[in-house]
Each structure stands twice: as C-alpha cells, then as structure tokens.
Structure 1
Amino acid sequence: MHDVEIIILCSVVIGVLGELTLTERDAAKWASSPFENDTSIRPFTVTFCEYDIKDLKTRLSDSSRSFVPSLQGVGFEYGFNSKLLPEWRSYWANQYNFKARLSYINKYPQFKTNIQGTDVHFVRVLPQNTVFCEVLPLLILHSFPSTFLEFYKVVPRLTRCVNGLAFEVILPSIPGYGFSDPPTKVGFGAAEAATVMKNLMKRIGHPQFFLASGDITHVGAMMATLYPHVVLGFFANNLVSYNPLSWGLWVAGALSPSLLADKTYQNKMYPLGSTITSFLAETGFVHILATQPDAIGVAMNESPTGMMAFILQVSQWLANNASVYQPDGGLGLVNRDEALDSVNIYWFSNCLTSAGRLYSETFNNRTYQEEIYARKTHVPTWIITANSSAITQAPAQYAIKYKCLLQTTYLDKYGLFLANQAPDYYANSIHNAVSFMQACHLSNVYSDYQQL
C-alpha cells in the first residue's frame, strides 16, 4: 500500500490526524482503472443500450404491486404523492423519446480522462467567435440530485462574447456521479473531489480558472478554500458557510435579528426554532445519504419508479420549497423530458449509491477535524441566495469565511438550480461577477490575497 493511501486510511479509521498536505491530496488514488496511467483526453458519447432501455420499460410496466395511497389532503409533504406516480411512470415508459433525448444530451462535445485513478467525464464547449474577445476558462460544478445537464441552457449564453468577454465552459460529472467513475476507496469527500476537479482543469490546460457552483455538495467551496492560487474567482448560488463562527452569529442574531440582517434575510432566518425545524423536516435526504447511502442505494437501483420519485421530490423542494404543499408538488410546471433526462443518467449509470457516498464522506468527523470549514477563503467571491435556498445566511455570516466577498444578492424567487430556472439571469450574473473580479485583479485590490 502506498504511503498516501496509508495516511488517508488512518485519518478515516482513527479520525485524529491533521489535514493532508496539497501534495498528498494530489498523489491519492481513488480507484483502479485500465486508464489510470493514461493522461490522454478521450472523446465520449452517452449511450443507452437497447437491452437496458427494454429492462427499464419492463420494470416501469410492472403493476403487480400497488402504491400505498397518500394521506388525504396532502401534497408532497410526506414525499412524492402516489397519485401522480402512474402518470409519470407511464410517460417515462411510453412517451419519453430516448433517441431524441440522447441527441440532446450529446449536443455538446464530451470527453473522459483519468484523474487520480478515476475516469472523469466532462463537457467542454469553446466559444465560436473569439475576434476581439477575451476567452476565460470557467468550471461549473453540478450538485445533487442534478447532473451536468443542469447548465445546458446557459452554455450558449456563456460562450457568446459579451462586452469583450466569453467563456470556455467545462461541465464535469463529479466522481461517483453520472459517467465519472465512482471512487472505490474510503475517504472521498468534497475536499477530495475538489482536488480531482482542480487536476482535471490542469489536465485540460488551465492551471488557473474561474469557478461556479450551486454548492449543496460543498465541492466548490472546498476548492476555493484549498486552492486560492488556482481559483481566480468563485461564483456561488445558495452557498452555505459552515464556519463555526457563521453558525454562532446566526444563533446570537436571534436576540436581535435586525443587528445581523435586513428584513429580507430575517424572514428566512428567524424565528430560529421554526427555521431549524423546517430545515430538518425537509432535508431527510441529506441525513440518509450522509449516514446510509448504500442502504437507500439498493432500493433506488432496484426500482426506477422509486428512483424517479426520490429525485423529483428532492429536486422540486430545492427548486421551490413551497412546492411541497401543492397537490402536484409543482411538477405541473416542470418539463418532463428535462426532468427525466437527469433521472435517466442516474438510472443507467447506476450512480445513486456512489453519489450519496459523497455526503457520507463529507459530513463526518474526519472533515470537521481537518477544519477546512473553519479556514478563511481568500478567493474573490460573488454569492447569490435564492428564495428557496435550503439555508439562508446573511452577508455578515458569509463575510466571516469569505474574506474577499465582492457581492451578495438575495432573490425573492428561484432555488438551487438557478442556471436552469433563470438561464439569462445566471449567465449575466457570471459575466458581471467575472468582469469585476478581473478588474480587481488588474488593479491589485487583492494584493494581500495574491501573496497568500
């Protein structure tokens, strides 16, 4: 066993060792692959084979057992309302056009390359017209339970030259998600995923880049904290500061909320008791993924209907918290094909278990003992908080951790999947944020940051 693997194993099992060095993080191998010594970048095309499609439809058509009826007068408060299951299941089996949707999924160039033992899948789109236009690399990270498809609508908006600026857009699948290999060793959490993503960008040819993330999986925040010389700027929607002082300020603010935040934020943060109760009631998926990902994974991987219900329920709550009280859970406004595209990726790649493990390897004693959450982040940061954020934090809470906080914005609508819900707003916000970050770097406003 390699020295780095011994260190990682000991830190997981014993939970008493300090944080790994960046060199040790780079050297870690998280899986075995025929391509683990291959540094090439290989073209990749998503395929759903006919056998697997037939198997899926057979499972969806199995009506040997009936669904347990939902309680009278409820929407989605208890989970996916079983009244809607036959309709969605029938659409998936009989009306969803697999060939047409595969064409959509493959509309942008896709690749694989091996990083630290894992084959990493990513989409890479370059601007077509770069005359009089500066092109900057932009890594955009998906969250759970979404995929790289979450950002398809913003790709043409970001690769188009606006005010002399366009982006080369890279959309990876985090290891364990979609078409990236799952880690096979204990210890692969958000910090480790951040290292793999950083090394992916280096492999592509970008030792420095801008980063965007809807950060429920924390990978973006970890990357900005661990690699301030690599990440030129961090654009985040629905970010949460897990710095202990940020939480302490929230609790202390309950004594006089107006001293911490204006009414826009207060209404989402207080009263403290009801806010915490509501959060715990609606985030059961986080708790089970963080503790028993393999158990829930068995159920999801055996039943496409169960997986669909789970993913759509969680996605809708993250997109619009109030949707759980609606009879249809807000699904009447959802594009069914787009929703099922992501479900298909989880189903055909059989990745829900490995995706859930990222939570269990992040929300644990090892992560907290490394104290990355408590460390200051010196990367220029731009934060958007949507109305349906799982947790709403005031600018003062963010400022405790993010020492180069350029702007915080609160939106009175939308949720975690801002790029899909409001693609124009999302793309324009990134353009504005990066333009400001560029100006700050050029004017040496962050000279202290650059010397870190």
Structure 2
Amino acid sequence: MLGSKRFQWTFGIVCIVGALFAYRRINTVFEAEAPKVSLQQWWGDGEKPEDWTAYVKNSSEIITNKLVFPDSTIDELRQRLNRTLRLTESMSPDFRNGFNTQELLNIVDYWRDNYMPRWREREVFMWQFNHFTTEIQGLRMHFLHLMVYDENKVGKHHYPVLLLHGWPSSIREFYPLIHKLHQTHPDKKNEYIFNVVVPSIPGFAWSQGTSRAGLGPVQVAVIMRNLMLRLGYRKFLIQGGGFGSVIGSHIATLFPENVLGYHSNLCTVFTGRSVIKGILNALKPNFFFRDGFEEMFPHWEVIKRLIEETGYYHLQATKPDTVGAVLSDNPVGLAAYILEKWSSLTNKDYKNSSNGGLRKRFKLDALLDNVMIYYLTNSITTSSRIFAEHHSTEQRELHMDSVPTDVPTGCARFKHDLIHFPDNQLKDKYRNLIHSTFYKDGGHFVALEMPTLLYTDFIAFVKKVEKFSKLK
C-alpha cells in the first residue's frame, strides 16, 4: 500500500515536471515560419493571363457602382413573401429549439407589409457611402471607400483603416461605425479621422465568389492586401470580427510591412501551448486573470455553449453547398437561418425569449437590410464555402496560428460573444499585444450593436499604436 502511494506521488511529480518542461518548450516545437503564398494566384473563371503585368494594368480600373435591383427582382421577392407558409408550430414559446415559428411569422409580416413597400428608401440608405468595384486576381471585388478631404485633415491624426466583416454579416454591420470613423465635419475635440475601406469578402454580397477550390482565409488576406495597395495605401490599420478577424490576423502576420496595427473583437489562437494554457485557465481562473475579468471565462460553460451553438459551423465546414441549395431562392428560410445567429451570438440568454431578443439591440430594418443583401446577391452558398476552405487540409498545413504576429495588436472582448481568449494565450501568437480590454456587455456583432463602444476601444488602441510605433 505504501509502495503504491509512493509510486503515485512519484508519477504525479514526473507528470508535473514534464508538463512544465513542455509548457516552456512548446513554443519552439509549434512556432512556425510564415508560409510562402502567391500574390498573383488566379481565381477567375477563365485561364490565368500569361502577361500578368498587362492584366493588372487593364483590370485595375475602379468603377463607381450603385446598388440597384430591377423591379422584376423585387416583385418576385414580394410574391414569395406572399405565399402561405406551412410552418410547424414551435414546441416551446422561445428560441431554445431554434427560430420560434410565431416570431418568424411576425418578421415575415413586417418584411412584406412594412419593409418591402419602403425598399427603394432602403436602397438609398445603402447608397449613402461610395460603392466601388474593381477586379483583383480574376474576381470582381466590391467595397466602400470613404476618403477625407484635405481641409478636414488639418490638426487631425489621419490613417487608412480596413474594416473586415464576418458571416452572416456584411458591410451593413459597419454603417454606424463608419460614421464615427469618417466624419465629414469632424468635431474639434476629435483627434482622429480615417480613410475607410470596407470590402465585401469574396463570395459575399457583390464580391464575386470563385469556382476554384482553395480560396481560404489566407488567400482572401492576399486579395484584401492587394486591394489596399491598389487604392494607394502602403500602410493601414485593420479592424475585424468573425471571419474578418481571421483574415485581418493573416494580413498582419503575412504582410507586417503594410499593417500599422491590427484590432479585433474576436482574437483567437489555437496552438498546442494555447490549449495547455486554456486547461490551466479553466482550472484556476483567479490565478491568471486580472480582478473582475475571471467571470468572463467560465470555460466549462463556454464548451457547453460551443456545442449548442456551432452546429451551423460544422455543417458549413463540411457541406456548404447543401446549405446553399436549401436556402437559395428561399427568403423565409434564409431569414430564419441568418437571424437566428444574430440572436444566439448576441446573447446566449436571448434563446429564452419568445422573440429571440433580436429587437433589444437591433432595429429590424437593419437586420432585414443584411438579409436582403444575402438574398438579392444570391451569396449564401459562396459565403458559406469559406468555412470549408478554412478547415481544408491545405489551409491547416499553413499553420497560421503558430506563426508569430509582431504587428501591434489590440483585442477587445465583449462578454456575450461565443468564445474568449485571455492574454496569456493570445501572447503566444500576438507578441506585441499592446491593448487588451474586457466589456461586460456586447456580443458577436458589436459593430452594429454597440458601435460607440467599439469606436472608443479602437481609438484607444490607435493611440497606443502611435506611442508603440512612434508614429507621432
């Protein structure tokens, strides 16, 4: 019996020593070099041009666009919304089993009878910013571009910023934030003013998807960087959430010479060392976290929520075309699928509400604007494919999470988002994590939900970038 206890103690000590050694050494094992990626990879439908220089010269025109859909398209949607819906009644009066049937009927009624008669007004609303398209690497790219006039630059700190959305979001999420970043008549108290670029990610909205396999977040990062260079921005700031955070992180990692700073409201890192730290964080959060922040990281609850809320993610990472086949030409199904995520990823407790809490933080017009963008551009299939590409063997073999990022980085965590990573994990990748904040409110789509708070956090980050990089 005594020998057995001695063996257990000895074995335990060996395990602890081994774990400490692995913890200290795991960076040398898993730290990877930045992969070599093509800056000219072709994604168009035809063959890649033999004379690349001539192609770039001939395709680099930037065209002003207005988002106009013909009456026939809008009339067809009205007819679809007028159809009698054969929906199965929900088993519970809330969102615990998904989108509540009665609330979906309420939204369809509003969409058909209130929103659609005002559709041309909504078009005008979305025209308020300058829309452009250009061709990059064979794909038509859509983006907003707001520039500051010379007279407004006087006495201001002036930088370009690239805003990157995720799924199931679009450029529409950023509209309130754009107004704060790009002020046509800046307040004298406001030190900062920005040239703002907001692209639709390839395959989303008016940005063309590809018929070729392999367009993952790394390749999208190349396209986004090439877009910024085409617009004349050799150095710029980045802000992103959702898949925008993944793409933004890749730009900062692969092209540090072009990125002044990277700010995200969904910083993540999945490496061996990060996993070990995550386990330790879960076991003893009070030891690792600053006072008051440990309550944001109840890791066992996070795991439970991840299992409950990521079924869509697994489906789109494995069968995106099936999702697309079901939702294309199905406006009601598309609305339910998209808006359910806007409910569950904004606040986990909204599932206990009969209306999913959608109208607590968002105006229904804004949510339907986003749904309309997906529906009218028929982009649900091409947008869903980024999940599958992100988890492809080719993408995983690039080991991007293990490539250190030395660009000044800022991470803002909002309590009700799906997942959070504390500093002791993030610093394994983001070696210059100069800005780290935690907020006891807000969810996944914070740019639309709480734009003032996100703007304030971003400005605080920019000030730290200036000091860190001595930009002043």
TM over 0.5: yes
One of 21, 27, 43 as aligned partner of 2:36: 21
1:237-276 aligned at under 5 Å gives the runs: 237-262=265-290, 264-272=292-300, 274-276=301-303
One of 190, 193, 204 as aligned partner of 1:166: 193
Report deviation, 1:258.
Answer: 2.2
C-alpha contact 1:418 1:426 (8 A) present in aligned 2 = yes
- 1:28-72 Cα deviation digits (max 9, x unpaired): 011237997411111111112211111111111111x52011113
Is residue 2:67 matched to residue 1:52?
A: no
Cα distance in 2 between the residues matched to 1:59 and 1:314: 23
What is the one-letter code of the residue matched to 1:242?
F
Report deviation, 1:260.
Answer: 2.6
C-alpha contact 1:110 1:122 (8 A) present in aligned 2 = yes
Question: Secondary structure in 2 aligned to 1:370?
Answer: coil
Cα distance in 2 between the residues matched to 1:163 and 1:57: 44
Question: Secondary structure in 2 aligned to 1:184?
Answer: coil
Is residue 2:297 matched to residue 1:298?
A: no
One of 86, 109, 133 as aligned partner of 1:112: 133
1:97-246 aligned at under 5 Å gives the runs: 97-128=118-149, 129-160=152-183, 161=186, 163-217=190-244, 218-246=246-274
One of 417, 431, 436 as aligned partner of 1:408: 436
TM-score, length-scaled by structure 1:
0.89
- 1:340-385 Cα deviation digits (max 9, x unpaired): 0000000000001111101110023222211111111111001100
Report deviation, 1:196.
Answer: 0.4
Match of 1:380 in 2: 408
Cα distance in 2 between the residues matched to 1:49 and 1:92: 18
Percent identity, aligned pairs only, is 27
- 1:261-297 Cα deviation digits (max 9, x unpaired): 246443343353x431221111111111111110011
Cα distance in 2 between the residues matched to 1:62 and 1:53: 15
Cα distance in 1 between the residues matched to 2:249 and 2:446: 17
1:357-396 aligned at under 5 Å gives the runs: 357-396=385-424
Question: Secondary structure in 2 aligned to 1:212?
Answer: strand
Cα distance in 1 between the residues matched to 2:46 and 2:157: 37
TM-score, length-scaled by structure 2:
0.85
Gaps of 5+ in 1: 1-17, 445-452
CA separation of 1:144 and 1:257: change in aligned 2, threshold 3 A: same
One of 45, 50, 54 as aligned partner of 1:32: 45
- 1:414-445 Cα deviation digits (max 9, x unpaired): 1122221222222222222112202211179x
One of 334, 338, 343 as aligned partner of 1:316: 343
Report deviation, 1:216.
Answer: 3.7
C-alpha contact 2:34 2:403 (8 A) present in aligned 1 = no
Match of 1:13 in 2: none
What is the one-letter code of the residue matched to 1:249?
K
Cα distance in 1 between the residues matched to 2:292 and 2:403: 28
Gaps of 5+ in 2: 1-32, 48-54
Please say which structure displays the higher CA radius of gyration: 2
One of 329, 336, 340 as aligned partner of 2:368: 340
C-alpha contact 1:44 1:111 (8 A) present in aligned 2 = yes
- Farther off after superposition, 422-431 or 167-176: 422-431
C-alpha contact 1:139 1:170 (8 A) present in aligned 2 = yes
Is residue 2:380 matched to residue 1:352?
A: yes
CA separation of 1:255 and 1:319: change in aligned 2, threshold 3 A: closer
Match of 2:83 in 1: 62
Aligned length: 422
- Farther off after superposition, 44-53 or 192-201: 44-53
Match of 1:95 in 2: 114
Question: Secondary structure in 2 aligned to 1:48?
Answer: coil
Question: Secondary structure in 2 aligned to 1:319?
Answer: coil
Match of 1:277 in 2: 304
Cα distance in 1 between the residues matched to 2:212 and 2:90: 40
What is the one-letter code of the residue matched to 1:246?
S
Question: Secondary structure in 2 aligned to 1:146?
Answer: coil
Question: Secondary structure in 2 aligned to 1:254?
Answer: helix
Question: Secondary structure in 2 aligned to 1:122?
Answer: strand
What is the one-letter code of the residue matched to 2:74?
I
C-alpha contact 1:215 1:239 (8 A) present in aligned 2 = no
Report deviation, 1:243.
Answer: 2.9
CA separation of 1:271 and 1:346: change in aligned 2, threshold 3 A: closer
Cα distance in 1 between the residues matched to 2:191 and 2:281: 43
Root mean square deviation, CA, Å: 2.0
What is the one-letter code of the residue matched to 2:131?
Q
C-alpha contact 2:435 2:464 (8 A) present in aligned 1 = no
